[in-house]
Structure 1
């Protein structure tokens, strides 16, 4: 086990921004004409990485490489066993390079290094799981169509997939999508968020080292308004998978209509923590503190709404605030800190705006609210508002920061109505010792993921995705491979066909 002092000594800031070009057709790609975007670490205020600002021309090159790789069958038509072997080797290389990947992840995103390490290792586990699925993609047979006909249902890879990933979990969210697309036999063009592109580029090179054929995975960096838009519109891309905000998700759906490509979306959330009077309040308080602090609240499944029975509201809020006082916010490369930096100035100001609006509206601020941007280092301490009107901005809009909005209920029906009373339906946590109440809540809450007496946990075995304006489709689990396939039906005539004109 590396001690905190050893970790801090080993994890120094780079002397200058580390430049990484795009990755197209199995090799690094950049020209003298490319402008490079320099990323300043939000936790340190200094330049740390530089990535190319790609163009539509670069995107066309990547899509062409992916199309050739799909059409010639170098990946799409090999056996599941061969694909699984590459995915397993990729998982091994991810684990072997965990420290480097976690270092880049922390420098660019501002999240604590301990969290980055955990995410990289967990992502390797997803690649291992997806490797197993590569060998079990299958269809159905229908032997009930009469003695002369056999019906077959086949799953085939959808083709060239565009994957657009966000800045909050750049490596982990990509790993919830890319290995499943590869397990299905697809080829891929990835457009990572401009703020956090480096670990995606490093992964692409590791995949080549793992034995992935050239052109199967390509990475084009740059602005979403340029590269992301072109990817969504591209006539030679068969599917687009987008993770990000609901407004941008709507734009992706519109752009994808150009060639009616398949669309997978994981979008925003305003997720409830529903606490009934009989819950274990100590356990719930710890999970609520974690849920709002994890990744500085910049998490689509963050439990940002606490919906608690009126009889225990005061006691629970007191316990949550007491735990938050122990949360250490600061230097991301210090493994002893719980919460790192806000990703950039715009997000920092957006979160501050919500906090100031809550104060102006007279909502009771019971903990936190302080923020610092000194030296272009962006930190906000976990913040708790009590007595929040369920119809207010604090309760309805996704803040994407460490801000908890507390509302109360008196009856079961009121709790469910409050939980479902937002446009989103991504995740929910339910806290009760009553099994019947837990099961009834699980059934009635509108969310793609439900946790009972826990929060933000699980593995790749179960699917993820949203209800309502939180998205379309499902990732991970066996459904994660299905997402990147098309179904084809075939009728096979075994005997003599009855002719139309005898």
Structure 2
């Protein structure tokens, strides 16, 4: 029997006012409905904001230790359901269990982390410029946080937005992506079971044009955090800032891995293949460009093609290496980028098509293009699928020029045995995240995450204490005793 899941508003599970619903299909087998959700309207979203605003003062006044205890209890509830949540992500979003498992664990760890950080995140005592005086700073919550989250990391990204918002005393309204809302539903269930007061978290599913618009423009929403495509992110940024809200957007990437002449080719191919084809290339930090020294170029292309061709494709629950893309539109977009690359003169080394899989679904082969010019579309625009462009360069300086010659700046990596070169790369590359001898994907939860250029609003970082900074404002108090 298909699960029918409701919104969560003011502590109650509710149906959409209009009575409408939508089905989420399994991207590996589109004949299978995973669950049915509420196709909510502006009225539902406005009710959620009203509930969050009404609960804001009491939640802000709740001791940090009590807020942390609720987050810790919610983490325990998620941990108890870990296997179920892994399978849910595989069925809704398409990741393999091996890819979904660390994401679920990340969400659990995030809630445990911010449960403890709630205790020691407050303010400072500062020396004053006179006798019998001192100065303190206090951190206070922004108020109501409007969160809009993507489908590609359906539990980790909502967790790293919700947990710091709640830890610092904000109430939350959240719209999960319609392709994979189940993970946010599970987080909200865990918070409800942990005893979160009514109205502190409110979840509404439905179209971004209605629900998302309310959550990013409503007068009673004080801060907006968005992760998604660049086009939508710029729209959200403009809409939120027009009303003077605090805004944080994390968007696309065109992430390079630079392979220089000191690198081990086999190691480099392993690093690049993992970054390019893992999670079916559906990560904002995925490696989409390999920028390779000309002396290693042919050998590298052969090695990365060998890895691409060795990967099995199919439904995640079948024990494969690569699952499907998340939707028909995502698949069509990837195939269109492959066609453009071919028409512009890049050489298709492997992949480029759809495998014949009995289950149906949105499958595409891991794809490698060589002879890619830096100005080609495949070297400039984000395909968001398992597609790798391999470019040749003559030296380090050219590698940096090519790496930086895009509108994005999220993640970048280098494979090299030259330490000085690695350190220079960290200085020179235009990216918010730099990896040395590692794939461009993968993050630690306790350090800041974000990009530059068109990858981010360049306002506040996410994760770690930086994630708490976004949801708070600082008050300075002067005392004369």
TM-score by length of 1: 0.92
More off after superposition, 394-403 vs 473-482: 473-482
Which residue of structure 2 lines up, in the alignment, with residue 66 of structure 1?
A: 52
Offset of residue 202 of structure 1: 1.9
Equivalent residues in 2 for 1:186-335 (5 A)? Answer: 186-334=170-318
- In structure 1, runs of 5+ residues without a counterpart are 1-15, 495-502
Residue 185 of structure 1: CA displacement? 1.1
Residues 13-412 of structure 1 mapped to structure 2, 5 A cutoff: 16-31=1-16, 33-45=18-30, 46-71=32-57, 73=58, 75-334=59-318, 336-372=319-355, 377-412=361-396
Shift of 1:68: 1.3
Distance 1:77 1:31 in 2: 31
> Alignment partner of 2:146: what SS?
strand
Picking from 426, 431, 449, the partner of 2:415 is 431
Q: Residues 145 and 151 of structure 1 are in contact (CA less than 8 Å); yes or no, is this contact kept in structure 2?
A: no
**CA offsets per residue over residues 88-108 of structure 1, 9 Å max, x none?**
111111111012212221111
Q: SS of the counterpart of 2:349?
A: strand
Please name the residue that 1:460 is paired with.
445
User: Does the 8 Å contact 2:341/2:376 carry over to 1?
Assistant: no
CA contact (8 A) 2:18 2:40 kept: no
- Paired positions, count: 476
Shift of 1:124: 0.7
- 2:464 paired with 1:477: yes
Partner SS, residue 478 of structure 2: strand
Deviations 1:323-363 (A, max 9, x none): 122211101212x2111111111111110001011112221
For 2:158 and 2:328, the matched residues in 1 are separated by 24
Residues 393-446 of structure 1 show CA distances to partners (whole Å, capped at 9, x for unaligned) of 100001000000111111211111111110101000111111111001011111
TM-superposed deviation, 1:33: 3.2
Cα distance in 2, alignment partners of residues 258 and 422 from structure 1 = 28
Contact 2:17 2:44 in 1 (8 A): no
**More displaced stretch, 265-274 vs 136-145:** 136-145
Contact 1:17 1:38 in 2 (8 A): no
Matched with 1:493 is 480
Tell me the C-alpha RMSD between the 2 structures: 1.5
TM-score (norm 2): 0.96
1:460 partner SS: coil
Runs of 4+ in 1 over 6 A off after TM superposition: none
| Unpaired segments ≥5 residues, structure 2 | none
**By how many angstroms is 1:373 displaced?**
8.3
Task: Determine helix, strand or coil for the equivalent of 2:179.
Answer: helix
Separation in 1, partners of 2:225, 2:264:
39
Three-state SS of the structure 2 residue aligned to 1:384 is strand
Question: Greater shift after overlay, 76-85 or 304-313?
Answer: 76-85
Q: Distance in 2 between matches of 1:147 and 1:293?
A: 63
